[in-house]
Amino acid sequence: MAAATRGCQPWGSLLLALLGLVSAAAIAWDLTSLRCNFGTFCECDFRPDFQGLECDLAQHLAGQHLARALVVKALKAFVQDPAPTKPLVLSLHGWTGTGKSYVSSLLAHYLFRGGLRSPHVHHYSPVIHFPHPSNMERYKKDLKSWVQGNLTVCGRSLFLFDEMDKLAPGLMEVLRPFLGSSSVVFGTNYRKAIFIFISNTGGEQINQVVLEAWRLHQDREEIRLQELEPVISRAVLDNPHHGFWRSGIMEEHLLDALVPFLPLQRHHVRHCVLNELAQLGLEQRDDVIQAVLDSTIFFPEDEQLFSSNGCKTVASRIALFL
């Protein structure tokens, strides 16, 4: 789902333009770019906008009170620390279509001037970058070189690793030295970097916790991180197909947070449909909303409670019913 930021964007840049300070801003950007070429402590195009991020998450991330609060809290504490002792390392877990990739794209958008196009945002996919397990040793060398090289260019970098449950085990062990609390690795300062790992692993266990809460008539908002962390951790450690398998990353407690994404219910999917219609510049269409909901598969079979694809197929389904 595309990010809709109308109403969330700060007006500072527009005010500068109206005051005729665009040239000064451009000069400042050029100087910043030059500084990035001469040191590892540069901020490059790192321009965090927490107000915009929180606004966007509140308006468009449906049903994820834990993820929203945890990500914002961890990110603020990390960015506002002038001398962090280690990189920020987050692992996002949950069922498909619950918002994991959406949140990671928002982080790029609100942390870096260029968003996902920033030269300091690096997105890795198993299918694209590491497709053949037989080439694992070469991939290890490449990944170590990529991370080290990018951190040399700019220590304030964002690394996104998608579909960790499809990544051949063994590769992630080369990241272990970059994720800890040592001040320098291979001659490169890396303590201001951010690493985000995304996977569906733990999704079934999260779903079960939410389902049990629903059966006990417990408010979804009352579910706490302490209930979910142990089951997610066990699901990852027991999964030989997960990228963290025997990498030492979890065993050495290098993750700052396991971020759970809860399964989406019918009213959450409706929220996603409304957001998508707004993105298309369309008014609320009750017939379209109902058609999308009627075409969505819900589970378990008896309760029909959770969307099987979350909000992942909402955009394509809307196109069918307009």
Mark the binding-site residues for ATP, compressed into ranges.
94-101
Reference 213, options 95, 310, 92, 305; nearest CA is 305
Q: Tell me the CA distances in angstroms from 155 to 121, 146, 151, 168, 197, one per residue in order.
A: 11, 13, 5, 27, 18
Sheet holding 88-94, edge to edge: 121-124, 158-161, 194-199, 88-94, 257-261
CB of 61 closer than 8 Å to CB of 102: yes
What are 180's two structure tokens? 């800890």
Please give the radius of gyration of the chain, using alpha carbons only, rounded to the nearest integer: 21
84 vs 138: CA distance, rounded Å: 32
What are 117's two structure tokens? 């196009």
On the CB side of 223, how many CA atoms lie within 13 Å of its CA? 27
Cβ neighbors of 178 (< 8 A, separation 6 or more) are 87, 147, 148, 151, 185, 190, 193, 195
Distance of CA 97 to the CA centre of its chain: 13
Cβ neighbors of 82 (< 8 A, separation 6 or more) are none
Please report, in range form, the residues annotated as the binding site: 94-101
Containing H/E element for 288?
A: helix 286-295
DSSP code for 112: B
9 vs 313: CA distance, rounded Å: 27
Reference 309, options 38, 97, 71, 16; nearest CA is 97
